[in-house]
Amino acid sequence: MQLEGKVALITGAASGIGKRIAEVYAKNGAAIAIADLNLAGAQATAKEITDAGGKAIGVAMNVTDEAEVDDGVAEVIKQLGKVDILISNAGIQIVKPIEEFSLAEWKKMLAIHLDGAFLTTRACIKDMYRRGDGGAVIYMGSVHSHEASKLKAPYCAAKHGLLGLARVLAKEGGPKGVRANVICPGFVRTPLVEKQIPEQAREFGISEDEVIRTIMLKDTVDAKFTTVDDVANLALFLAAFETNALTGQSITVSHGWHMQ
Ligand code: NAD
């Protein structure tokens, strides 16, 4: 019960990595706000957690919408009392060569990954600073916060950008006990990645099996996917860490694909 008495707001937690973090945090005693574009999915995840004996609510939130983020965070504070931990995790992927990206697609990617991280951070740290009990902000970066891959220009640009936001928050929040770190996973078989396998096969003119073997797992030490549990366990470690000794960092969980 490493998070007893804590409240965690997790964006994009109706699915994939965010959902598993919500489950692991709830098992460790935290009350969870599942903030997602997909309200039905958020409510379904919240129900699974409460049915298992935990505490969770679903909140409708498009992380790119300033008013929805501010209102959503206010609602979480009204219902759960505070926000101790923010996991900025909502994300999507669009894969294509740079010359084929429309400006609208580029902006959409940056809005979800970067505007979303900024808006949720701003809303949550106001509560953390006001209460004076500190807090933890965790950004879901990626190996693509450090590495590049073909077809992923806006994703790589946005994920690299999260490092800058986290480092500034580490400096500004440090004196107030608010830590900021970035988790950088390798490929995890969530809906976001399942969708990419046929898309990359088409773009590169190779089979889906080749996408997995020659692109996704090529540089890992053991040809294995990272799992939602791997990422959730790291997220638990970071949220439960008690001092500012661990802040402003990015930690990669990728079967050795990227080594810092
Ligand atoms: P997923 O598709 O399973 O889940 C993403 C969730 O985000 C969904 O519930 C979706 O409804 C929500 N979402 C999308 N747009 C939103 C918006 N505008 N506002 C609020 N919610 C929104 O994907 P996942 O693989 O679990 O990805 C979660 C995060 O992990 C993303 O930031 C992704 O970039 C990152 N990541 C994933 C992998 C991977 O291999 N799956 C690797 C590295 C990083």
Q: What is the mean pLDDT of residues 110-117?
A: 98
Are residues 163 and 197 located together in one domain of the fold?
no
Are residues 208 and 84 located together in one domain of the fold?
no
Q: Inter-axis angle of helices 153-173 and 103-110, to 10 degrees?
A: 30
Q: Is the CB of 190 under 6 A from ligand 1?
A: yes
Are residues 63 and 174 located together in one domain of the fold?
yes
Are residues 15 and 137 located together in one domain of the fold?
yes
In terms of DSSP bridges, do strands 7-11 and 135-140 run parallel, antiparallel, or are they unpaired?
A: unpaired
Q: What is the mean pLDDT of residues 154-169?
A: 98
CA angle 128–6–73, rounded 5-degree value:
50
Q: Facing residues of 185 across strands?
A: 253
Rounded CA separation 50/65 (Å):
28
Compute the distance from residue 92 Cα to the ligand 1 centre, in Å.
5
Domain boundaries, position 121: 7-186+226-252
Global pTM reads 0.98
Compute the distance from residue 209 Cα to the ligand 1 centre, in Å.
23
Q: What is the mean pLDDT of residues 62-79?
A: 98
Domain count, the chain: 2
99 CB-contact burial (10 Å; exposed 0-12 / middle 13-18 / buried 19+): exposed
Find, among 81, 77, 109, 83, the residue nearest to 94 by Cα.
Answer: 109
> What is the token pair recorded at 118?
């900024």
Backbone angles phi, psi at 192, to 5 degrees: -60, -35
Are residues 213 and 121 located together in one domain of the fold?
no
**Pair 107, 149: CB distance under 8 Å:** no
Q: Which ligand 1 atom sits nearest the alpha carbon of residue 92?
A: 14
Are residues 236 and 171 located together in one domain of the fold?
yes
pLDDT digits (tens, 9 = 90+) for 129-154: 999 999 999 999 999 999 999 999 99
58 CB-contact burial (10 Å; exposed 0-12 / middle 13-18 / buried 19+): buried
Compute the distance from residue 16 Cα to the ligand 1 centre, in Å.
7
Question: In this structure, which residue's CA is closest to atom 10 in ligand 1?
Answer: 12
Instruction: Give me the active site residues, please.
Output: 155
Are residues 172 and 232 located together in one domain of the fold?
yes
